[in-house]
Each structure stands twice: as C-alpha cells, then as structure tokens.
C-alpha cells in the first residue's frame, strides 16, 4: 500500500510532459513555420482567397453529418466530450466542415460567387502516433464555393502545386474521380460482388469496411488486401458520363498549366463527402544519409482534397458546388526543411546598446526605442550591467557598433559609439545618436 502511495506521490511531483502525439514548435523551428505560412498566405491572397478564422471546438453533430458516421475519423478518432451544459462538443478533426458551417451561417451564398477562402489552424485526431502523424496537427485549408466547373478544381490543384513549387518541393498530384454519388452506389455494388468470394482473405478492418464504408477497401494499406484489389473493378471505369467529362476537362487544365500528375484509381479519401475530383499531393523527399548509407527518398502525402458538391446542402444550406483541399503543415514544413532551400534569415543586427550602472539602465529602454523606431536594427540585454559581458554579446551578435550609455555620459547627455572592428570609441551628443549611427552605417562602417 505504502509503495503505491509513494509511487503516486512521485508521479504527481514529476514535471508534466507533453501528451503522446502532441508536439511543441520551439524557437529554432518556428522560422520554418513562419516562412511556409507567409509563402502560402501571400500566394492565396494573390489568387483572391481571403482568410477566415474559425473556432476549434464545434458541435459534434457537425462532423458526424459531414465527415460520415462510419469513417475512421468519426468512429474512433475524435476528441469528443460533454461541456458543462451537457452538450456534446468536439475538437475539430479537420477544417472544411467548419468552413461550410460558416458559409451557411453568414449567408455567403448572397455574395458574388465563387467565395474563395482559406483558414489555418490546429486539428485533432486520436490516431496512433507515428512519423508525420500527430494527435494535434495543423492544417491549411483552401476552399472554393459556388463554382461547379472543372476550372475550379484545376485552380485549387494548381495553387496547391504552386505553393509546393515555391517552397522548392518536388511534388506530383495523384488524382482520381469518385463520380457522382449515384454512380458510386452502382460501383459499390460491383465492388461488393467482386470481394464477396474473397472475404475470408481480407484483414479484420476491411471485413468491417465491406458493410460500413466499402470504398475505403480500396485504400487499405495491408499488402494482402492490396493484392486482392489489383483485379478489382475501378471507379474511374464506372463513372457517369457527366463526371467523366468533368474529369477529362480537369486533366486538360492540368496539362495546359504543366502540373505534374498521375492517375491513381485507388484514391478514395477518408471522408464521405467527396464527389468527382479527389486528389493527394505527394512530395518526394530526400532524407539525410545516415553514416555509411546512401540518402533515401520517401514519398510524403503533404495534402489532399476534392470536390464536395453536396456538403452545403447536407448541412441545411442551398445546393452549392464546392471544391477544397488541406495541407498538413507539419508535413509541409518537414518536406520544406529537407529541401535545404533555407529561409531568409532574420536581418543581421547592426547596433548593440550597452548600459552601465543603475541610472543608465533606467534610460536604456528609451534609447533602445529611439534607435529601433528609426529603423536601426538594435539589440540589448537590459539585465546585464558590466561592460565586458555586454561587449562579448555584441561580438557574438556580429553588430557593427556598440552604443554605450554610462553614468557620466548620462550627466553630459552624450553616448559612446564603439566601432566593433577596431575598438575605436567616439563620444557623440545623445540627441544626435540616430543621425550619427545612420551616417556611419551608410559609409559602410
Ligand atoms: P485529410 O483531412 O485527412 O484529407 O488530411 C489532409 C492532410 O492533413 C494530409 O494530407 C496530411 O498531410 C495532414 N494530416 C492528416 N492527418 C494528420 C495527422 N494525424 N498528423 C499530421 N498530419 C496529418
């Protein structure tokens, strides 16, 4: 007993750790995130996509009705709980459902169509954590409402491709058509008939999928199941005429705009709401060589999307065609880091401000702000008082000048400018410091 109690006490006093499947983005990694997000938003704004910010918590029914009760996400991966008022709420597992809700709730069908928007933020899925798969991850969701034409599908795919290209990634679009929901029903019958005699050879998950979500049979990752489906009838061979025409037109657009793609008849996507175009963006990523071995190349699915013409209506809105896609930002950032293209590093600081003594320390903020607000890239460590450690820091930062504010200078209303290369110091008027620094920086030293 005493043992259990002491174990419990120990556990309670241990520093709490990150939850499994969650991660921090620490200082060294954050600039890569900033770069990827800035590249994406610049591009999207140029193509007239506006940002929409949505809550992370939504009513559970929103996801049940859109993603589908029998999908993996809804049946086993959602973080769902009751709030204090007894309502069932869910941490969003993806962003599209919320965007559709917002489109209806804000009457966006009354705006000129198409309505083009994007949103960035966390999504949550209780999945088995593994490389590139987290329980909290971030998505960049891009959606285009109110245009049924193939050009809309092509636009979303083209922009997704452009972003990857801009980041230096080597990507191919894997694309398929899921047809209309009616043609899909006929196809599902064909698929069920094909698999019935082979049922005993399927994995346990696939056995359940036959009745609950038969299309998902096609993207099972088990080798044995995949082998069984090589001979299976394909969705693309069973499309209705309109969907076939639509698909061909999308591909023609991609050909014209030189977007590299591969037809992949096994893409069905994990969510129920897609029709016609479905695609995934596959990045070919070169991993660093480990000692004695060659670098390896792996394929990483950085994003995916498709058309979802029925979704607005499912949620009670008007019949509105729509197409969208989502990038997984963890994967996009990781693929980008491996390109080694680097990021424009923060511009180098030019000046260090060193203060000596208590009185000077009190004036340091004001002087720092004077320099900063005059576009001089200045750094300081307000907690340090001795000159030596401050000069060492200035050296480490590689600044050109250190401005020294001491007790005596404060009385005389002057400061010292120290040239960090040769150590030469000059006294200048405090009121002229900005001009003096700018003059020197302009001269090149
Ligand atoms: P989905 O909403 O399932 O179509 O996912 C879109 C993209 O989000 C995928 O292509 C992945 O890049 C990313 N993604 C989905 N689930 C996860 C996860 N658990 N962890 C990290 N990224 C994910």
Does residue 107 share a domain with residue 82? yes
Residue 167 in domain: yes
Q: How far is the centre of ligand 1, averaged over its atoms, from the C-alpha of 335 (Å)?
A: 14
Asked whether 137 lines ligand 1 (CB < 6 A), one says: yes
Mean pLDDT of 200-215: 84
CA 302 to ligand 1 centroid distance, Å: 7
Q: Does residue 303 line the site of ligand 1, with CB under 6 A?
A: yes
Residue 299 pLDDT level (bands cut at 50, 70, 90):
very high
**pLDDT cut 90: percent of the chain above it:** 70
Position 185 in a domain: no
Q: Which residue has the higher pLDDT, 337 or 185?
A: 337
Ligand 1 close to Cβ of residue 335 (< 6 A): no
Q: Are residues 169 and 264 in the same domain?
A: yes
- The CATH number linked to 107 is 3.30.930.10
Render 260-319 in DSSP notation, one character per residue.
-EEE-TT---SSTT-EEEEEEEEEEEEPPPPTTS---EEEEEEEEEEE-TTHHHHTTS--
Average pLDDT of the residues in 5-22: 82
CB-ligand 1 contact for 301 (6 Å cutoff): yes
Residue nearest to atom 17 of ligand 1 (CA): 133
For residue 201, being part of any structural domain is answered with no
323 and 387 share a domain?
no
Dihedral pair phi/psi, residue 113, rounded to 5°? -95, 155
CATH code: domain of residue 410: 3.40.50.800
Domain that holds residue 357: 348-443
Query: Is pLDDT of 167 > 70?
Result: yes
Which one is predicted more confidently, 190 or 103?
A: 103
Residues 358 and 265 in one domain: no
> What percent of the residues of the chain are helix, what percent strand, and what percent coil, each to the nearest 5?
45, 20, 35
Averaged pLDDT, 424-430: 96
pLDDT tens digit sequence for 305-356: 999 999 999 999 999 999 999 999 999 999 999 997 777 656 789 999 999 9
Output the DSSP codes for 229-257.
HTTS--GGGG--HHHHHHHHHHHHHHHHT
Do 268 and 148 belong to one domain? yes
Q: Are residues 129 and 276 in the same domain?
A: yes
Percentage above 70 pLDDT, the chain: 96
Residue having the nearest C-alpha atom to atom 8 of ligand 1: 328
**Which ligand 1 atom is nearest residue 303's CA?**
10
Tokens of 338: 């491996």
- pLDDT averaged over the chain? 92
Shared-domain flag, residues 381 and 422: yes
Residues 293 and 330 in one domain: yes
The answer to whether residues 180 and 276 touch, using CB atoms and an 8 Å cutoff, is: yes
The last residue of one of the domains, among 338, 363, 382, is 338
pTM of this prediction?
0.88
> Which of 373, 422, 431 has the alpha carbon at shortest distance from 402?
422
Residues 162 and 75 in one domain: yes
Residue 440 has a CB neighbour count (10 Å cut-off) of: 18
- Looking at the fold, whether 314 and 381 belong to one and the same domain comes out as no
Do β-strands 414-419 and 322-328 pair in parallel, antiparallel, or remain unpaired?
Answer: unpaired
* Residue 360 is assigned to a structural domain of this protein: yes
Return the closest-CA partner of residue 214 out of 188, 177, 184, 187.
188
Domain count, the chain: 2
d(CA 136, CA 160) in angstroms, rounded, equals 22
Map tokens 């005389």 to a residue.
412
Distance CA 187, CA 169 (A): 36
Is residue 22 included in any domain, yes or no? no
Of 311, 338, 365, the one marking the end of a domain is 338
* Beta carbon of 331 within 6 Å of any ligand 1 atom: yes
Tokens 């894997």 appear where? 174
Task: Assess whether 324 and 362 both reside in one domain.
Answer: no
**Domain-terminating residue out of 308, 338, 368:** 338
Same domain as 261, residue 291: yes
């Amino acid at each position: 007993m005493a043992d259990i109690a002491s174990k419990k006490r120990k556990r309670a006093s241990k520093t709490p750790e990150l939850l499994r499947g969650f991660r921090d983005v620490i200082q060294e990694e954050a600039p890569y995130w900033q770069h990827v997000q800035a590249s994406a938003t610049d591009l999207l704004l140029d193509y007239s996509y506006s940002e929409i910010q949505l809550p992370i918590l939504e009513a559970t029914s929103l996801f049940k009705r859109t993603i589908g009760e029998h999908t993996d996400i809804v049946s086993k991966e959602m973080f769902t709980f009751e709030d204090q008022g007894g309502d069932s709420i869910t941490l969003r597992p993806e962003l599209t459902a919320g965007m559709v809700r917002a489109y209806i709730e804000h009457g966006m069908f009354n705006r000129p169509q198409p309505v083009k928007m994007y949103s960035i933020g966390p999504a949550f899925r209780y999945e088995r954590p593994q490389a590139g798969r987290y329980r909290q991850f971030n998505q960049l969701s891009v959606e285009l409402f109110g245009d049924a034409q193939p050009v809309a599908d092509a636009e979303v795919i083209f922009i997704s491709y452009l972003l990857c290209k801009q980041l230096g990634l080597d990507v191919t679009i894997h694309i398929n058509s899921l047809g209309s929901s009616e043609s899909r029903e006929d196809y599902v019958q064909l698929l069920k008939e094909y698999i019935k005699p082979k049922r005993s050879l399927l994995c346990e998950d696939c056995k359940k999928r036959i009745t609950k979500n038969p299309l998902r049979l096609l993207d099972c990752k088990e080798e044995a199941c995949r082998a069984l489906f090589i001979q299976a009838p394909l969705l693309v061979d069973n499309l209705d005429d309109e969907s076939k025409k639509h698909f061909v037109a999308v591909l023609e657009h991609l050909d014209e705009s030189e977007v590299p793609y591969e037809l992949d008849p096994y893409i069905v996507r994990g969510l129920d709401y897609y029709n016609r175009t479905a695609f995934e963006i596959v990045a070919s990523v070169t991993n660093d060589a480990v000692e004695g071995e060659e670098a390896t190349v792996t394929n990483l699915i950085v994003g995916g999307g498709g058309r979802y013409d029925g979704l607005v209506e499912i949620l009670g809105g008007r019949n509105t065609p729509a197409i969208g896609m989502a990038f997984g930002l963890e994967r996009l950032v990781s693929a980008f880091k491996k390109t080694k293209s680097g990021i424009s590093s923060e511009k180098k600081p030019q000046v260090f401000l060193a203060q000596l003594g208590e009185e000077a320390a009190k004036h340091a903020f004001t002087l720092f702000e004077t320099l900063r607000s005059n576009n001089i890239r200045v750094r300081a460590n307000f907690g340090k008082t001795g000159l030596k450690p401050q000069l060492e820091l200035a050296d480490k930062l590689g600044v050109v000048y250190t401005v020294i504010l001491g007790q005596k200078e404060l009385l005389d209303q002057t400061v010292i400018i120290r040239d960090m290369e040769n150590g030469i110091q000059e006294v200048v008027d405090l009121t002229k410091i900005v001009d003096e620094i700018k003059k020197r920086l302009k001269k090149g030293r």
